[in-house]
Structure 1
């Protein structure tokens, strides 16, 4: 049997199996496991919040996943989504219409449950949820900015003299627990002669001077491409403004 024939038979088996499952409708909200989502503020606080029902397509993916993984254990998330999208498009209109009706019913149930849930929250819980959501949003923005810095080649701040010393002493970590290692390295640093410390301080100073030049050049480049939102050094902004006026 050819690979294509096997794949076609698998597709038919999965879709027909899905139709069978679909006819025995359940109001249980299935959470798709294809992607891992970060916990919500409520989940982090141990508060059970009603989950919005899956749209027909995502419910289709969730229903198909067990059989799909059974036949393709090594399938990636991206491949699973591509497969699901293809077979969703091939699904007959009647099945899709039935799924849409079920989704509307699930959505109606969800709204009622959500209303009860929201009225049950205390003011303290609401404040805590709001605070945590703000923290999570800030953390997300920080991760986004960090990724953008990396993509745009922003120079990294160099290590301090102490961390340069730690880097030079990685050999003593072998066979030690982290706390034991940190304690040992700190004690050794404090006992280090001033002449030895000076070597690391001088190295750190040289690296910092290079970093300042590199970051200034990078920020000027960001200004030139219109990304002034990434520039933090005031002197760079002033320098760029002054040079622009001269050209005018």
Structure 2
């Protein structure tokens, strides 16, 4: 760690000395001696002509940038993934006092980033602000789609069925002509177009079988999603097909209720008619009796 800190200290001293120099030619001559890795980050953080200022790194990423060349120099045979893993393990073992310089540098960079961002946004026109808002919306939608795809993969969603050409391409990709992937794809497309109809029929049948596989796997997967309460991941056509039987049963129930009401109404009407007829008979009998007495 000591040699790297010595290099950074010398670079910072040289950068301060460059600010004293007034001649641009002298500055260009001295900066050509420094590596580009030490010059570009400062230029990207301060210049705003090419685009918005870059977000600052947190304390952990600053520690990674400091330790990565040191570990690479001492362990050239280690892979990049293992280097990052080793640095992460070292960061976890550091105490708060050892982490403080990196975190304080991150806080200072964050404050400077806010100032630079306000200065950059003040220079934008309304059309540029609208364009940036649109680009941000597109980035958020892309990230959302990526997160959803990862979630579906973790939940075990079946892969979509392949087309006949995709099956043909997967079988003959290794032996295809060309060096690059694009060249192989182009040669396979030409070979596919030159196939006879009976040769393509084999791959068409395999694609139909793959559709049946996908249909069966999707049915079981969507049933499982219903069981665990993830109805939001089910296709719209499946939801509508599951709602139709429920609608039929509710319609049948309402039909039976209406029929029962009709029966009850008919019975009530019949009872009323009977009660209305009985007093009529009694009044007729009374009139007959009165006539006999007279």
Band of TM-score, shorter chain: 0.5 to 0.7
Question: What residue is the counterpart of 1:141 in the other structure?
Answer: 144
**For the Cα contact (< 8 Å) 1:162–1:200, is it kept in 2?**
yes
- Whole-angstrom distance in 2 between the partners of 1:190 and 1:135: 37
How many matched pairs?
209
- Whole-angstrom distance in 1 between the partners of 2:188 and 2:245: 48
Equivalences for residues 91-240 of structure 1 within 5 A: 91=98, 96=100, 100=104, 106-170=109-173, 172-175=175-178, 178-236=181-239, 238-239=241-242
Query: Structure 1 pair 85/238, CA: closer, same or farther in 2 (3 Å)?
Result: same
- Whole-angstrom distance in 1 between the partners of 2:220 and 2:151: 17
Query: Structure 1 pair 72/125, CA: closer, same or farther in 2 (3 Å)?
Result: farther
Using the TM superposition, give the Cα deviation of residue 160 of structure 1 relative to its aligned residue in structure 2, in angstroms.
0.8
2:93 aligned with 1:86: yes
Query: Structure 1 pair 117/88, CA: closer, same or farther in 2 (3 Å)?
Result: farther
1:52-103 C-alpha deviation (Å, 9 max, x unpaired): 54555654554455545545554532331231232243539xxx49974x66
Structure 2: 5+ residue runs without aligned partners?
A: 17-48, 250-294
SS in 2 for 1:48: coil
CA-based RMSD: 4.1
- Whole-angstrom distance in 2 between the partners of 1:185 and 1:126: 46
Give the TM-score normalised by structure 2: 0.55
Question: What residue is the counterpart of 1:76 in the other structure?
Answer: 83
Using the TM superposition, give the Cα deviation of residue 206 of structure 1 relative to its aligned residue in structure 2, in angstroms.
1.7
Please tell me whether Structure 1 or Structure 2 has the larger radius of gyration of its CA atoms.
Answer: 2
Higher deviation after alignment, 141-150 or 106-115: 106-115
Give the TM-score normalised by structure 1: 0.64
**For the Cα contact (< 8 Å) 1:219–1:236, is it kept in 2?**
no
Higher deviation after alignment, 109-118 or 232-241: 232-241
- Whole-angstrom distance in 2 between the partners of 1:109 and 1:177: 45
Query: Structure 1 pair 193/63, CA: closer, same or farther in 2 (3 Å)?
Result: closer
Structure with the higher fraction of residues in helix conformation? 2
